[in-house]
Amino acid sequence: MTCQNMSNAAQELAQQFVTRYWREDLSLPKHERLRLAFASSIADGFWRSGMRLPTEAELAHTTPCSLGTIQRALRELAADGLIERRRGSGSVVADLTGKLADPWHIRYIRSRSPRTEYFALHTRVLSRRQIRSVGRWSEVLGQNKESVTRVDRLFTVDGRIDIYAEFFALSSRFPEFMSRPMASMDGLNFKKMIGDRYHAPTHRVHQTLRFQPTPAHVAEVCGMPAGGMSPVLNVVSYPLSGEPIYMQDFYLPLDAGELDLGFAIRLI
């Protein structure tokens, strides 16, 4: 195959991508529309892990976007963890098997010698929805009358330990949790995404541990005994100053091993 043929094939694939995923009806800046087009196409399997994406020049030729707009969208996709930008080989789709990088809260210790190592952690989104009901999150987040986005995830440690997690954040503050394709949220580091996309980095967390009857939906997903008790790790994220960013509840199994909390906790 000649270089010209390869270029034509790449252009054709880029054109198919634009035809299927570019949305003219969205009232978003072009870099956001291009980022969402790639996120949707990756979630659909149009672009698979390890595939090279069109070059910036190819995208400039096939999309209604300037080179600067394309570069911004690609930078944001890299920050989201959906692609990797490799010098000399362009942008490729990242491995989206759900492995979570740099976890803060669910770090089960594998070994302490010669340095502390942790078991691999994967996450999968189970559901998401906007809620207006009042709960533990309401006072923490200052909910008032607005809606809260709730994302339920399954954290799997070392391929064998299942932990149910419930994430809460104000919908108006972080709308991307409802707008982005759910498949692209598997393995997504929510803390990092909020810091990168919304310029709201976490500077400290407050952690508490409580014990409560295991909810039926948690017991069913994680295979916990019905009617049993669960330790629940509650985590509230704070910026350097200002209102809390998000709240999470982690339903911990009793026999999962040693969890490195990294911060002082208070039993309640």
Query: Measured at the alpha carbon of residue 58, what is the angle toward residues 52 and 62, in degrees to the nearest 5?
Result: 120
Higher pLDDT, 150 or 43: 150
Q: Is the pLDDT of residue 2 over 50?
A: no
Band of the pLDDT at 6, cuts 50, 70, 90? very low
pLDDT by residue (tens digit) across 242-262?
789 999 999 999 888 888 887
Band of the pLDDT at 4, cuts 50, 70, 90? very low
How many Å apart are CA 177 and CA 206, to the nearest integer?
Answer: 22
- The residue-averaged pLDDT of 11-20 equals 88
Residue 198, both tokens: 């919304």
Report percent pLDDT > 90 for the chain: 42
How many Å apart are CA 122 and CA 162, to the nearest integer?
Answer: 10
Query: Measured at the alpha carbon of residue 29, what is the angle toward residues 9 and 53, in degrees to the nearest 5?
Result: 25
pLDDT by residue (tens digit) across 199-242?
888 878 888 999 999 999 999 999 888 789 999 999 999 886 67
**pLDDT for residue 41:** 86
pLDDT by residue (tens digit) across 95-129?
755 554 555 678 888 888 777 788 888 899 999 99
For residue 27, the SS3 value is coil
Residue that is written with structure tokens 């956001």 in the block: 32
Calculate the CA dihedral of residues 99, 105, 108, 110 and round it to 10 degrees.
70
The burial of 24, by beta-carbon neighbours within 10 Å (0-12 exposed, 13-18 middle, 19 or more buried), is given as: exposed
Band of the pLDDT at 1, cuts 50, 70, 90? very low
Antiparallel, parallel or unpaired: β 90-93 and 109-111? unpaired
Report percent pLDDT > 70 for the chain: 90
Contact 128, 182 (CB under 8 A): yes
Band of the pLDDT at 11, cuts 50, 70, 90? confident
How many Å apart are CA 123 and CA 155, to the nearest integer?
Answer: 5
Contact 77, 33 (CB under 8 A): no
pTM beyond cutoff 0.75: no
Of 127-131, 134-138, 180-184, the least confident: 180-184
Please provide the average confidence, as pLDDT, over all residues in the chain: 85
Residue 143, both tokens: 């909910």
Higher pLDDT, 95 or 131: 131
Residue that is written with structure tokens 């490729």 in the block: 92
- The residue-averaged pLDDT of 15-38 equals 89
**pLDDT for residue 190:** 92
How many Å apart are CA 119 and CA 106, to the nearest integer?
Answer: 10
pLDDT by residue (tens digit) across 75-91?
888 876 778 887 766 89
Q: Is the pLDDT of residue 5 over 50?
A: no
Q: Is the pLDDT of residue 21 over 50?
A: yes
Residue 63: count other Cβ atoms within 10 Å of its Cβ: 21
Residue 55, both tokens: 């070059």
Q: Is the pLDDT of residue 265 over 70?
A: no
